[in-house]
Structure 1
Amino acid sequence: MARPHHAAFDKVKTVAENRRARFDYAIDEVFEAGIALQGTEVKSLRFGEGSITESYAEVRDEQVWLINSNIPEFSHGNRFNHEPKRPRKLLLHGREIEKFHGAVARKGMTLVPLSIYFNGQGRAKVELALAKGKNAQDKRETTKEREWKREQGRLMKEHG
């Protein structure tokens, strides 16, 4: 029997967020993945440092890797400090990896990280989305829709 999927993940502390991803991509499905980190990387994330604005994920050798994410070196680290932009392995179930591989290979979709956060148990997690890139027309429609909703809110506030 399959586990039920939660509508929202248990985000206690959000460290890094890719706000531009929802504008540039049409989000299809969202997954939660663990991330394999070194000790100084976890400490840097706990201090709220880290960026995933230009990062993406790819399937290589039946594993999923987070590429181009930046977790700066820990300020109090010693010679065993980590490399800031190294590829980091994402921890997923085999069937999820197969699903990603099929979607990327056949449908031309992209794996985009939406946020890095700590869950209720103190573990670092990545919110990963299976998405399709938007063209310029779709982006204009998204902007128009967002501005219309903002205007609706103003009108509702003015008129009761």
Structure 2
Amino acid sequence: MRIVNGMENESFWEDIKLIKTDQSLLRTLGFSSQDISVLSGKGLPEWAAPNMNFDIFEPSVGRLKLGEDRDDQDIFISLNTFKVLFSDRELLVNSSVQQFRGTLKVYAQMIDNAIEVDEESVISNTIPRQLINSFATELAQLDPLAALPGTFWMNEVQRLLTSK
């Protein structure tokens, strides 16, 4: 799957349950029409690599939780900046919900491509370096801020590159 000029392949998650947030809640919280379209129209997958689970949560002070990672650390939207952040350290995941959804798709495609090369590569943490580097390049095109050192996705890239 490629994202070209911001256009996403909408059928990518057609067989997966999508979590959709209530439009009126999002409007009340001050989300943009674009973010509302992503969260209530398109939705997020119930589960996505790298081991993220999504659901519907009530907003709390300053944040709307989207889900958790494998270690039960929150993935959420800051209601001050509307950026997607991770954990209590508030690590940047993506600059917007749309970029987050797009990045999840690009990451999933990297995993699919790795499995095509070697069915065990994901389990054995031997995803080909070329695929990891391609993901990082696509991330930089999709969301330049998320491709900076110290962000959630760049930490993930480093984890994948060093786990061989």
> TM-score w.r.t. structure 2 length?
0.28
Q: As a proportion of its length, which structure holds more strand?
A: 1
Task: From the CA coordinates, give the structure whose radius of gyration is larger.
Answer: 1
> TM-score w.r.t. structure 1 length?
0.29
Q: As a proportion of its length, which structure holds more helix?
A: 2
